[in-house]
Amino acid sequence: MDHPVTRTLRRRAARVLPLLAAALLLAPPVDAQRRGWPDSRKPQPQVDVHPDETGPVSAPVAAGVVTVRLVPDVTRWVPGRTHLLGVAFRMTEGWHLYWPGQNDSGLPIALEPETPAGFVVGEAQWPAPVRHLLPGDLVDHVYHDAVTLLLPVQVPDDAPAGERLTLRVVADWLVCAEACVPGAATVELAMDVAGPTELPMRSDDAAFLDAARALVPTELPPGVSVTTDDAGRVVIHAPAAERLAFYPAEDGLPVADIAGSCDADGERLVLTPDDTLRGGVDDAPRLRGVLAIWLVDDDAHDGETTDASGEADEEHTRPSRVARVDIPYPPARDGADTGSARPDPAPNGGADR
The percent of residues above 90 in pLDDT, for the chain, comes to: 63
pLDDT tens, residue by residue, 253-263: 999 999 999 99
| Domain final residue pick, 181, 196, 216 | 216
Q: Which residues of the chain have pLDDT under 70?
A: 1-54, 277-284, 299-316, 332-353
Please list the alpha-helical segments (H only) found in 167-261: 206-213, 258-261
- Res 299: pLDDT: 64
Total count of domains within the chain: 2
Q: Are residues 43 and 159 in the same domain?
A: yes
- Res 316: pLDDT: 57
3-state secondary structure of 13: helix
User: To which H or E segment does residue 21 belong?
Assistant: helix 4-26
Q: Are residues 138 and 37 in the same domain?
A: yes
Q: Are residues 204 and 239 in the same domain?
A: no
Closest listed residue to residue 149, CA positions, set 105, 202, 84: 84
Task: With 0.85 as the threshold, say if the pTM is over it.
Answer: no
Residue span of the structural domain in which 308 resides:
225-348
pLDDT tens, residue by residue, 154-212: 999 999 999 999 999 999 999 999 899 999 999 999 999 999 888 889 999 999 999 99
CATH code, domain with 189: 2.60.40.1250
| Domain final residue pick, 192, 216, 240 | 216
Distance CA 59, CA 46 (A): 6
| Domain final residue pick, 216, 238, 264 | 216
User: Is residue 324 a part of any domain in this protein?
Assistant: yes
User: Is residue 353 a part of any domain in this protein?
Assistant: no
User: Is residue 334 a part of any domain in this protein?
Assistant: yes
